[in-house]
Structure 1
């Protein structure tokens, strides 16, 4: 265990010398990966849609949240897609959908200011089961509330609100009862049951994601507000070219992660606001044997200019990351809440395998977090030894400043898989009440890193 409260360690940090005794004393950090960002951004281009609107008009001139508009919305989506694309527009009012809204190619579901798309909270409305994922594992389950499968040029945009109407009686109250279903699903994976034969849904307690694009290309979610989600809010899976921009997420249910790109490439998350019941942003790539079977990493992901309030973590890699995660860039974000537990978090265990590599973070302002500013934990959830040790390497933080935390860092690797190459430059961890915890870290370099107290 290593402590940044040690006077010698503080002196070495102030002089810009690594606190790792055996390696890299006085050595420069490796070249930054930020030069790769312009090329990644060139590959992230939001879809464009024909200048053609398909308005959903309520009878009587207004939507009151009581009449079911699912059929009308679906009809407009079908017409829009068949005619070559455009916008399906919901005007001001409360638009109830008793069941999922399924987006098709070349369709932009657009909510004007004052529009609220309400979803019923009756699980049977989200049957029949569809091909989806639950916590990184493929299965047949309740449909996500907004769902697109194998489509191109799809979007949800506007200044309106999407409301899942989840609460402790509807969806959220399932959490204490779902352990049996999670175990059953895991056993199916171990036995090699094909994903299409892993049928859940009716009679089970695995909640659906809110907005899920599955095996889609050219995806945009922009401007909307998301509240009262059953599960993860924005969940692109096996997608390429994804933009999530200007979204406001306010939902505090269990597992209410804000945005979880999974097995995706070329993703931009910018100018968003997260106030969540779980991780604000969590990048994933599949769980255990199922993640290794699919074997598609999440990579080339940029997060910038976002605000994180409540949540388990600001930007998180894992824990479902068996397919690997690489090339993640985080900059110009603000994270601040007594109920935000960590700013940057990497979590895995020896059941997962996979890799977490090339995470670059710069110019992040942290007001306060209740745990560590940087937490890397390879004993997350399953501390016992497994057969698939994860690899973590090349984590670089620059100009990260925190005002208050429990610890600056919590870095815990495994004896047979030490954390590799963690480099911090020009960082300040103010008013940390406890020292950092450093265990099984192969290389930790601290250059001009301080821990002042006020």
Structure 2
């Protein structure tokens, strides 16, 4: 009898403990919704910004020659090697034009461009060796990004100089296969079945990444700056122009700060900044003028995204200017691993060539979940299509349907002013089986917009103190 009572007591205690843990877990989840901007501040405090020794290593002292004619790859390699071997510091690029192939950073190295410095990157694809990278959300072995770091810590690219990818309709861009970017019959492009399609299939078939060999002849353009599996990284103040593909790409990285950077690049897929599978990323004081999304948060694509199964989370965007682009701050379409806790504040967005302010896009082949998106204090001059666009039927490269219904919940816009809202204030389309849930517009003013909203399969959408075209908008019932 004593043992039975004792066992009952233990069982009751276990139940209480489980209930307590469950309550704590639920409370933790609700904390973000209850006070998102406090959570944002906590994230900011946790992000480690790299610090470097005062020692400097001028690339000229390692044989670099300005003028934009001599290839200075070896000088960059030697300077970076000396820097990291001696405990780190700054690798200095002085005023002048310096041509080079890809630059691979190492631990404790700050690549610093002085005012008047310009790094010109080679347009010869053969100069870019195979490395572990990614193309449109699928991992592979492909051409090295122009600036690359793999599994490094405490790294940076800083200074007032220019990073020039030299991409144009004759170099890199035509690889996309579009005539507007220089492609014509007889030129290779990514759409050959042996190129991009083969890569996507390798992801679906779970081929080991090391066996997904692309590079020369595959026409998959490299990213400009990629920090892959890195911790404590910084990009500050530089101007980046003429990128082959995605511009700034933190990949599987933690504690990344992008501060005061200007991106001007209008080529195909020229997203300004694409955090992917990354955590604790701060993008601030930047200007984006791009050929694709200004900022696009990603987490892998389709089968390969399900293999990696890693969220992008704790992404902060603040005090930025978005000009041309498909979207100001975008989540997707490569979002299979999920996106969580995105904070956007004090940004300005304005251009006749800016399609949307906030955009979320996926489809039933991608799947994935986007949850907890908080936007406040945004000024929008002009957008073409919509202020908020949520599209769960995003279609590119043909049929993109499957059995993985994407989910979106908790999207909160507050204190947003729009002068010219384009076609829709809110344009959202979800699935009947899994509707978009909990969309809130609070203290939002949108003028010169065609229609207040067009929604399908959206639950719990609220308009609180929101006016569109001068009239207060009531929440749909």
TM-score (norm 1): 0.91
Query: 5 Å matches for 1:54-453?
Result: 54-57=57-60, 63-97=66-100, 99-127=101-129, 129-176=130-177, 177-179=189-191, 180=193, 181-381=195-395, 385-404=401-420, 405-452=422-469
CA 1:59–1:284: 2 relative to 1, 3 Å: closer
**Is the contact between residue 91 and residue 115 of structure 1 (CA under 8 Å) also seen in structure 2?**
yes
Three-state SS of the structure 2 residue aligned to 1:67 is coil
TM-fit CA distance, 1:190: 2.0
Three-state SS of the structure 2 residue aligned to 1:443 is strand
Matched, 1:35 2:41: no
Counterparts of 2:248 and 2:220 in 1: how far apart (Å)? 17
Three-state SS of the structure 1 residue aligned to 2:328 is strand
Three-state SS of the structure 1 residue aligned to 2:198 is helix
Counterparts of 1:61 and 1:273 in 2: how far apart (Å)? 31
Deviations 1:199-250 (A, max 9, x none): 0001111100000000000000000000000000000100000000000000
CA 1:444–1:70: 2 relative to 1, 3 Å: same
Counterparts of 1:234 and 1:262 in 2: how far apart (Å)? 10
Relative contact order, higher structure (CA 8 A, sep 6+): 1
Higher radius of gyration, 1 or 2:
2
Matched, 1:50 2:64: no
TM-fit CA distance, 1:434: 3.3
**Is the contact between residue 432 and residue 453 of structure 1 (CA under 8 Å) also seen in structure 2?**
no
Please list every run of 5 or more consecutive structure 2 residues that lacks an aligned counterpart in the other structure. Answer: 1-32, 178-188, 472-477
Name the count of aligned residue pairs: 424
CA 1:58–1:167: 2 relative to 1, 3 Å: farther
TM-fit CA distance, 1:37: 1.3
TM-score (norm 2): 0.87
Three-state SS of the structure 2 residue aligned to 1:80 is helix
CA 1:60–1:422: 2 relative to 1, 3 Å: closer
Counterparts of 1:384 and 1:197 in 2: how far apart (Å)? 25
Counterparts of 2:445 and 2:350 in 1: how far apart (Å)? 15
Counterparts of 1:190 and 1:174 in 2: how far apart (Å)? 23
Deviations 1:248-282 (A, max 9, x none): 00000000000101011111100000000000000
**Is the contact between residue 150 and residue 227 of structure 2 (CA under 8 Å) also seen in structure 1?**
yes
2:7 alignment counterpart? none
Three-state SS of the structure 1 residue aligned to 2:307 is helix
TM-fit CA distance, 1:453: 5.4
TM-fit CA distance, 1:385: 4.0
**Is the contact between residue 147 and residue 211 of structure 1 (CA under 8 Å) also seen in structure 2?**
yes
**Is the contact between residue 64 and residue 75 of structure 2 (CA under 8 Å) also seen in structure 1?**
no
**Is the contact between residue 103 and residue 146 of structure 2 (CA under 8 Å) also seen in structure 1?**
yes
Three-state SS of the structure 2 residue aligned to 1:289 is helix
Deviations 1:357-408 (A, max 9, x none): 0000000000000110100000001676411111100000001111112211
Three-state SS of the structure 2 residue aligned to 1:66 is coil
**Is the contact between residue 279 and residue 312 of structure 1 (CA under 8 Å) also seen in structure 2?**
yes
More helix as a share of residues: 2
**Is the contact between residue 231 and residue 256 of structure 1 (CA under 8 Å) also seen in structure 2?**
yes
Please list every run of 5 or more consecutive structure 1 residues that lacks an aligned counterpart in the other structure. Answer: 1-29
TM-fit CA distance, 1:44: 0.9
Deviations 1:26-65 (A, max 9, x none): xxxx634112112101111210000110011179996111
**Is the contact between residue 237 and residue 259 of structure 2 (CA under 8 Å) also seen in structure 1?**
yes
Supply the RMSD in Å over aligned alpha carbons. Answer: 1.6
**Is the contact between residue 431 and residue 453 of structure 1 (CA under 8 Å) also seen in structure 2?**
no
